[in-house]
Amino acid sequence: MIIGELWRLTSGGEQETLHTSKFQIVTNNPMVAEALGERCHIVFLEHGSDRDVIETVRDLVHRHHRVLTAPLAGSVKPWKTPYRSVMVSVSKGTAIDATSLELVEFALMVIGQSRERLETTKPSLDRDFQTVDLSLIESALPSVEAIGRI
């Protein structure tokens, strides 16, 4: 599901955009979708795995979007957490960004290898993993917003 830009209907019945961000977030974390959904575009993979998130980012990179945050950010090992959020440009370039593609392909390789030792997380830790993922993506917001040109 894609949660688009925030808009409202004017008194004349026309759609008025309330925000247009230069980035979007691909995530399987409901906490990220809820907390940042009014601030930027969210591609929310409600029942998606961390691998699904990275594959969706890869598809966007193939359509000339750029990766803006590291797909394997943070110190939580890939086999420990089921949640992942990646910031990607909204605008498209004229070609595939080689650095973005390398980042995504490396992340897919690491996640593929980590599946061999995937640990089942306790439901009681679920919210903790969501909070860590949200914190990581929120920490990138000031930098991306300050750049302005993405």
Q: What is the pLDDT of residues 11-64, one digit of tens each?
A: 676 655 544 578 999 999 999 999 999 889 999 999 999 999 999 999 999 999
What's the predicted TM-score (pTM) here? 0.83
Whether residue 135 is predicted with pLDDT greater than 90 in this model: the reply is: yes
Q: How confident is the model at residue 103 (pLDDT cuts 50, 70, 90)?
A: very high
Task: Please give the structure tokens belonging to residue 129.
Answer: 């993993």
The ranges assigned to domains in the chain are 2-147
What pLDDT shows up at residue 146? Answer: 79
Mean per-residue pLDDT for 113-128? 74
Contacts of 74 (CB under 8 A, 6+ apart): 132, 133, 136
Whether residue 9 is predicted with pLDDT greater than 70 in this model: the reply is: no
Distances (CA, A) of 104 to 4, 18, 62, 81: 23, 31, 11, 18
139: left (phi over 0), alpha (psi -120 to 50) or beta: alpha
What pLDDT shows up at residue 17? Answer: 53
**Across the strands, what pairs with 41?**
24
